[in-house]
Amino acid sequence: MGSVSGTPLLTGVWFADQRNGIATGWHGVVLNTNDGGVTWKPVNCNITNDFYSLHAFDLQNLIAVAGDKCFRSSDGGTTWTEVTLSYFMGNIYQIIFVNNTTGWISGQYGAILKTTDGGVTWATQVSNTTQGIVDLSFIDENNGWASTGGGGLIRTTNGGISGTDETSIRTETDYKLFQNYPNPFINTTTLTYYQPTRTPVKIEIFDLLGSKIRTLVDQEKDPGKHQVKFDGSGLPAGIYFCRCTWGSNSSSAIKLLKN
């Protein structure tokens, strides 16, 4: 597989056939290939937003989400026009379509929006969760599933008019620090942790050399899932570690990647 030197993180890819494809990434990166991905050519794009997810109707007609915005292109990714959304939903993580007219986008705070006109207009759906919805899967216009950053799974059988109450996809009996999302991140990322009992919690951020950068939480917390935001603005790009300690019960650590 070919690559482009210095290309930022790529987050979306679509192929029309065995040879022709398009990819999108952070900082407004758009690439295309006509040799099956052996070589990629950059497209001179008119925006610098970080693309998170891409859907292509064909090689010319594209729709993508970037940060808290949605964009459409009708010229293969050179020119992008912002699509008006029904309400502010924080960062948007995913966009999918089951056909040329019906699709969904999802993001922070349990937000799901649906379109039935190919992405021209979007209507709010009910997800019954406040967790960030990081991925979507639909098998037809009615039946779909969504996964949350806190380790939950929700389902709809009516096209997203409403979702079932969030259920855990694992039995929560242990102390758990989930992987942050997004990861990699630029400035801010969300950390989710679970504890089965009320106990003191300490969440700390360290650099690659083991020096403590920040303490995010240092207090007693009730049982259940909790979220805390880490603002890494001003920190250099690189690898960091988050350690969560629950009194004398348990500790857990994850790797954070900052761009």
pLDDT band at 165 (very low <50, low <70, confident <90, very high): very low
Give the per-residue pLDDT at 171. 39
Torsion (CA) 245, 247, 250, 252 in degrees, nearest 10 = 0
CATH 2.60.40.650 fits 10-168, yes or no: no
What CATH architecture applies to the domain 176-258?
Answer: Sandwich (2.60)
What pLDDT score was predicted for residue 168? 39
* pLDDT (0 to 100) of residue 6: 55
Q: For residues 138 and 102, what is the distance between their CA atoms, to the nearest angstrom?
A: 10
d(C-alpha 189, C-alpha 228), whole Å: 9
Domain ranges in the chain? 10-168, 176-258
For residue 83, what are the β-bridge partners? 70
The overall pTM is greater than 0.75? no
| pLDDT tens-digit readout, 126-157 | 777 777 788 899 999 888 888 877 667 888 88
The pLDDT tens digits for 9-39 are 888 899 999 999 999 998 899 999 999 999 9
- Domains 10-168 and 176-258 are alike in CATH topology: no
- For the segment 67-102, what is each residue's pLDDT rounded down to a tens digit? 889 999 999 999 999 999 876 567 888 999 999 999
What mean pLDDT comes out for the span 158-174? 53
Strand 212-221 to 224-231 pairing: unpaired
Distance CA 196, CA 188 (A): 27
Would you place residue 183 in the very low, low, confident or very high pLDDT band (cuts 50, 70, 90)? confident
